[in-house]
Structure 1
Amino acid sequence: MISILKFKSKLMKKLFFILLIFPIIGYSQVNTLPNSIGIGQNTNTAVPLHINKPGEVARFQGASPYVTFYDALNFKGYIQVIGDHLEIGSKNNHNIDFYTNNLPQFRIDGTSGQITAFQKINANNGIRLSGPLQAENESVGPAGSVLVSRGNATPAWEDQKVGFEANGNIAGYNNNTETILSGFASVSFNFGNGFNTSSGVFTAPTPGVYTFNLKLDIGITPSETSLNPSIIRMFKNGSQWKTTHYLFSTDNGYGNNIETKYIINLNQNDTVHFSFFQVSGASLNIRPSIIGFKVL
């Protein structure tokens, strides 16, 4: 009788153990195979680690925890929590790219650190710059210049302070001979460096509307003359653009002056220069001066 009771007791213990173990095995959510681990139900055994579970699925906890990424033996990058920030980094000068729709949208160059946005940037709260503002090819505009739209072309810098004042030496201007105004020895200012003092040619550094004021001081002549015809010509890109006719006199032993003003629209790199023609019967000593600046 005692033997039968012992047998029943052992059998009940085994059944209890089996009932305790089998539900755990039958409803297990961890599937371990030689080449994959699945956590949760309906996991894909072709994926080395597949977690199918709602909510938080992984946690890396500790002092500055990090995850590394390798290509074979090459260390490519990492994600790490350091102090108060999350750091995403690359190694060995690799770029960091952000993709959407299988296309690169944002890139941090692994060598230079320069940032390239492949689409427009919407900055609703503005943009704060601590370094120089640069255009294409890393060109930095001169102080005071502005970045101007060129329509469909690349924006470019424009120096808004464009102008010059130049005064020439007294020189002889032959009778009945056209003379190009050049050789300006004194220049008060030349903002934009558009005026060439040697040739007397102004080259527009930026497009816009320009005004030019030309003055010719005619010296005293040995013989007084009056109502002498003269012509001032303005040339644009080497071709005559405008002609102005004047009559001048040197009566009573005093010199005279001729002064004219032009307004012209110029494209970038357009050139302007002037010439003077006089018929007085003699060579005249003349001092030219030109003031030019951008209006719009």
Structure 2
Amino acid sequence: MTVLIADFYRHLTVDLRRSDHTVRAYVATAERLTGFLAGHWGRAIDGAALSGITAADLRAYLARRRGDGLTAASAARELSAVRTFLHWAGIDPPALKGPRRKRSLPRPQAPADIIALATDVSEEAAEPWIAARDWAVLLLLYGAGLRIGEAMALPASILPLGETIRVTGKRGKVRIVPLLPELRAAIERYAALLPFALLPGEPLFRGTKGGPLSPAIIRRSVRGARDRLGLGGRTTPHALRHSFATHLLGRGADLRQLQELLGHASLSSTQIYTEVDAARLLDIYRTAHPRA
């Protein structure tokens, strides 16, 4: 890692407090860009050299990345990361339109499919405490709308449970999330069966050896369950959060309240669920109405 990239890494982690996933993605983009420019220009890249970047250079870089198999959506994210890197370096990014991409709507799962998924995952678990853990985690995603990373980050200090929990989301933003009685019962059952001590400074959800539970474990379990149940490839842990939002909106939840529950910084991120619900209603109309 060059000095330039190392300084950018510190900026993302210390100044902006971005998530580990975002830091890895942005730093990797900065490394790819500077590596490309070093070959493109034939010289080492530092802050002074970087100031000479042009729109043509960026187009050439994105063309290289698209040639590597990057989709339009991924190329747009790459360009966003490049702009963040250049802004940090004190450089106004050259004006360049990102690739056009289709806006895909989240696909909510039917409540019955979600319960079947969670049941299958827990039934495949090797031990009763692991079954209780996986059931509690999946219920947190659907019953409280948490991101999987937020669920993994919950501390043991949330016990004993009340009617709400404090959740730390993206960029360290804290929100209060209500707990349904069924969800409280699921977490309490897991805590009672867990063979490891739950100390206040440690994570709530544990792996088989007592360390922090990895999101990859839950994702792998969900993949196995959806294959066994014949569910679509979009049935992921994050789809349960989408389902939480869509089902609440369909029952009359206020958009601003939903924004708070989901921890979205911008209302525009939440508004996509209005399109999801409208699309669902249109599907019902076309299927059921005799004159559709």
Q: TM-score range by the shorter chain?
A: under 0.3
| Structure with bigger gyration radius | 1
Give the alignment's TM-score, normalised by structure 1: 0.21
Bigger relative contact order, structure 1 or 2, given CA contacts below 8 A and separation 6+? 2
Q: Higher helix share goes to which structure?
A: 2
